[in-house]
Structure 1
Amino acid sequence: MALQKPYNISFKGLTIAAGEVNKLTWQVSGDLSVAYQVRVFKNSDNILIYNSSKITSFANSHSIPANSFLNGLEYKIQVIIWNDAGAGIFSDYEIFQTSSRPVVGVSPIGTVGSQTYNFTATYSQLESVSMRSWIFYLYDANKLKIFQSEIQTNTNIHYLISGLKSNTNYYVEFQTTSNKGLVGTSGLVSFSVSYSQPNINTNLTAENNENAGIKLTWNTIQIIGSTLSAPIFINGEKLNVRNDVFSFSEGFQLTNNFTLKLWFENITSNVDLLVIKGQSGTISLQYWNDHKFHLFKDVYGYRSHNVSSELIGSGFFVYIQQIDGDMNIEGEVVK
């Protein structure tokens, strides 16, 4: 058999991280290969950057040491093989690129004070390569994966998780992929969860039964709210949302009749104070510079705007009600 040139050079079309050890593989046919040599040139000027020299081995792979190349450049690679008769043959040149892995940052989380938390991360890359996508992972105390998000492509890296259990330890991880295809990870970041279980409202119905009995039936309703960041409480009973917003996102049906009674003090004007989210849309509440509360309902693509009477003060009691789809808002100043 004749000696045939190496093929299927694994670096072909790849982007590799120059700061890491990179394993190169290839395939041969024809005569048995008894020695090989790997050479890498900078593609722009053909300067030889890496040369393994001739290595006597039957192997079809070679590990290139870390930092043999610079990141952010394009190179071409060639493999030479020899048979036991001393005849050698060159592979075709194959082009590859180098790039730094993305750096993913997650600030220490500490203790989460509710069953819902919005986890955030940052992305950076040394050669300013943009981010292609990211994934969020949640692990239990034994570092076993219990949740994985879908691939996300929005540039703001944050993921809202609900159902966290109190008195439990978890880990989170964000993985990002650059436009060059390299993956970076935050590593596993630990946090704990500790909160008081919320009171649960119960709709109780009494019904007369046979033999002077009474039949009781009930529906348990739990409305779950959350803040964008870890909640801050004042005196253990007031939720501080001056630099945050409180959202109802679970258990609330925007199409049902409901009544909300809310108390506010020292509020910030012209920002969302409360957001109610449902499958059909959202309801949001703001206090404007005209000293009135403004209630916005966006459902099925339609927006309604209801306004309270003028209320001037630092503390307010606000009453919001929906009956058969019609919204009402009233309030009074609390001294």
Structure 2
Amino acid sequence: MKEFIVFKADGIEISLFQLIVCASIIVSAVIITITLTRLTRKFGDKHGISRKFIRLVKQGIRAIFYLSALAAMLEVLDINYHKVFGYIIYGNDKYTVKVLNILIALIIIYLTRILAFGVDYGMNRRIENHRMDRGRGKSFIQIVKYLIWIIGFSIIASSLGLNMTFVIASISALLIGVGFGLQHIFNDFFSGIIILFDGSIKVDDIVEVEGTIGRVLTIGLRFSKVLTRDNVIIIVPNSRFTTEKVINWTHNKEATRFHVNIGVAYGSDVRLVQKILMSVAEKHDQIVKIPKPFVRFNDFGESSLDFQLYFWTVNDFLVENIKSDLRFDIDDEFRKNKVEIPFPQRDLHLKTKHFE
């Protein structure tokens, strides 16, 4: 079997026995890899380890065993490592790309992902332990991760033999050439950088853009994700935050004032109405005690006496729910105290004329 040659070319001879051994190595590597990755996933699920970290570990396991299998097969086939890893995939007068360069680039990408995950994990732990502000911490994480990837790709470019000065000059020329056509994209990109550095908008901030109120989930380089009160995630280009009017409710360090409109029928006891409204507001657990709620007798309307109940709360995002609770409680109290809520009415006078 060892003497039975199935392939021969360029000084390389492969026997049937070597093929069987190589197949055994591949099958063994696949079985071991599948077993270890499944055990890793189960271990991570049992101990509550981050799925992203488990995914990185599984990728590392696959890479190690597949590369080990490749090295073993090269040894069995009696093929020189230098010939394989030194094989030129692409080359010209300025630089060449070898198999080894591609392998190094993949290793650098993997190590960069691990480093970025480590930064993300470490900073999130500091945020969870209240050792860092959540919004600024998330922005800092994004900035550091982008810097890590920039450094990683720079190292990859250098490992491939690319001249960084030439690369930067080429990218600059390309950006100038397509800049007019993609100016909105570049505007969003630089707006994202500005937002991350100046901290005017941070993760978990409550913002209002074009009448839509939502909580910022993530801030990317080109767009941000905002969760609305309807539990819908909307994609907002970053240029909206820097060029248009945006209300950041979170910048209010203290509670924010809101109000509910109420109308009662003419003839109602206005002092009783005031007392009811104040008691309802003071009972709600989402309304702060200081500043104290107050009632304003706003106007004598066409069909009602118009009041406004003013209150302060720190829960800006769910303030509509607070208003709804107040309206329910006000209606209950009005029914108990026989305070009537009117509806628009018109008096119609009919005049008749007798003809002879």
Q: Please give the range of the TM-score, normalised by the shorter of the 2 chains.
A: under 0.3
Q: Which has the higher contact order (CA 8 A, sep 6+)?
A: 1
Q: Which has the higher helix share?
A: 2
TM-score, normalised on structure 1? 0.23
Structure showing greater radius of gyration is: 2
TM-score, normalised on structure 2? 0.22
